[in-house]
Chains A and B, each alone.
Chain A
Amino acid sequence: MTSTLSAATSDREAYRATLLELARADQRIWCLDSDTGGLEKVFESELPGQYVDLGIAEANLMSVGAALASTGLLPFVNTMAAFASARALEQVKIDIAYHALPVRIVATHSGFSAAHLGPTHHAQQDLAIMRSLPNMTVMTPADAGETVRMVRAAAYLPGPVYIRIGRNAVENVYDEDADFTVGRAVELRSGDDVTIVAAGSYPVVFALEAAERLAAQGIEATVLNMHTIKPLDMPALIKAAGTTRGIVTVEDHSLLGGLGGAIAEAISVHRPTRVLRVGVADAFCARPGTHREQLVAGGVSPEHVIAAARAIVTR
């Protein structure tokens, strides 16, 4: 599957194709839509008995998903990250997380990927919100190929899962099929000076670009793709803290409470080391622009990663 995805494939398209593939093989896998546009063509047309469109009503969507899951079904619930994590949060917290039900929330338009649509549709808080819910597994893929592997793995995890994907095609990180284990970071590059930990499509791309440019300056970075935010891969982080001089985190999320926050919380307990966070400043985005332009304006770019890494190494 992965090898057939071109560089132009978005996480969304990869997800939809994978969901259909899973649902064909297992009638317990249902697709719950909320007028998101596309799933009615890709999924409902082929498997109408496993598809429900609940309209533009995300609170009801989450509760219906919970109830379906309580009967033994495996519903994939579809909405934008902004609505999954804020508008429908109480239903996610109580009906899904409190009951530890196997609902898979697939949230698109994460971070700044809604770009010009503006702060009403941006989701810069969802990792912080979702990882604070007991029982919730929280993941975000680096590219379309990893989306496929992640969705396959998520389908049969016990308990609820939140998968955060983007809106647009971003360049591929992986050339070919790779291993994927929930909760285990992927080492994309090895170096002794500093560890860059990234999650999500642009952040991993930025981390790799920064590592290349740092190498040219004589600084060798390990790059970890921390696709699972909860549970965090603590062995990988402890190893990073022990073998390099510090950790730089990179995310398309508020500086408060996301990947960087999670790592800082955990590493301060288990293996204290310096952690510098590259994330979006604590402010609503003020101007239109592309996803990448908004990230750069918000404080997330290869240059920001390089500056943080140099600050750790030259300290």
Chain B
Amino acid sequence: MTVQAEAVTADLFRLERVALAVRENVLAIGAGPIGTHVGGSLSATDILVALYFDVLRVRPDEPRWDDRDHFILSKGHASAALYATLAERGFISRDELVTYGRATGRLMAHPTLSVPGVEFATGALGHGLSLGVGLALAAQRALRPNRVFVVLGDGELQEGSVWEAAMSAAHLGVGNLTAIVDRNRLQINGSTEDRMALEPLTDKWRAFGWDVSTVDGHDFAELVPALRDAPGGGRPSVIIADTVKGRGVRHLEHRKQGHFAKLSPEAYERALAALRAVA
């Protein structure tokens, strides 16, 4: 192995380790008093880890730093993955994660502004991309360096407002905007293609004027370069990240039942063991 290849491998290993810690905490939150959206949190975990540990220019001790990159989790129901990632990155403490959903804490089941690192309260689907367009436009017109990354659910693309935002982003030429679609192919009622088909999805985005790429959303060797290279030029970029709902916990993978779960102590232990077995 060359020195450079060794460095890349070491870096991927570092990301894998962080992702495991995030997934463990997603399960711990799922075992808490209110449960959580386990399936969509596990499918989005690697995207969030790649962003926060290799792509986003952010300062955990100065969340509102003027030159930061903006991140919006438009699929706000994956809050457990976001909070766990923010904790690993140092925006909040890991100890705080146990307060998820508790009246004495600030970790609501959908992200709120009171959490450092959260820029917009999300969870009502179909808002995040529009917010990203506004942030990107403000930076573009002010000639500021901020880039904007928005993670969308694939089911979320059924909201009409997403396509209002997509149209405007291309029209305004906000090349500093990157959307990432967590393409886990499941929504509450079943397969996206059975319930309200999204395909041909890359054609749709291309037709709206976006640069489109498709990656394995669980392979950092594909995710990281795609995220790093996406922003720039005169067009917004979308990365369709092929993912697996429930990723990492074999018996939860590809299962719509894993969309939301309140894990019993036994179910939690079983899920944790399954996660560590493949890690």
Contacts and interface: CB of A to CB of B under 8 A. Distances in A.
Interface string B133-172: 1110111010000000000000000001100110110011
A309 to B, nearest CB: 45
A98 B121 contact: yes
A59 B119 CA distance: 19
Interface residues of B, number: 25
Contacts of A49: 141
Contact of A60 (B113, B120, B161): B161
A66 B167 contact: no
A51 to B, nearest CB: 10
Interface string A86-100: 000011001100110
Which of B124, B130, B134, B171 has the largest number of chain A CB atoms within 10 A?
A: B134
Interface string A233-257: 0000000000000000000000000
Chain B interface mostly helix, strand, loop or mixed? Answer: helix
Interface in A63-94: 63-68, 70-71, 73, 90-91, 94
Contact of B134 (A55, A59, A68): A68
A67 B124 contact: no
Interface residues of A, number: 23
A67 B132 contact: yes
Contact of B130 (A52, A59, A73, A99): A59
A94 B138 contact: no
A65 B134 contact: yes
Contact of B133 (A67, A94, A98, A99): A67
B127 interface: yes
A68 B138 contact: yes
> Interface majority SS on A: helix, strand, loop or mixed?
helix
A64 B133 contact: yes
B121 A67 contact: no
Contacts of B138: 67-68, 71, 73
Nearest to B134: A67
A95 B161 contact: no
Contacts, number: 76
A70 B127 contact: no
B220 to A, nearest CB: 29
Interface in B80-131: 113, 119-121, 124, 126-127, 130-131
A65 B120 CA distance: 13
Nearest to B146: A71
B119 A60 contact: no
B137 A68 contact: yes
Contacts of B171: 55
B158 to A, nearest CB: 14
A185 to B, nearest CB: 34
Nearest to A75: B134
Contact of A67 (B135, B164, B167): B135
Contacts of A59: 126, 130, 160-161, 164
Interface of A: 49, 52, 54-55, 57, 59-60, 62-68, 70-71, 73, 90-91, 94-95, 98-99
24 contacts: A55-B168, A57-B167, A59-B126, A59-B130, A59-B161, A59-B164, A60-B130, A63-B165, A64-B131, A64-B134, A64-B137, A64-B168, A66-B134, A67-B134, A67-B138, A70-B120, A71-B134, A71-B138, A91-B161, A95-B127, A95-B130, A95-B131, A98-B121, A99-B120
Interface of B: 113, 119-121, 124, 126-127, 130-135, 137-139, 141, 160-161, 164-165, 167-168, 171-172
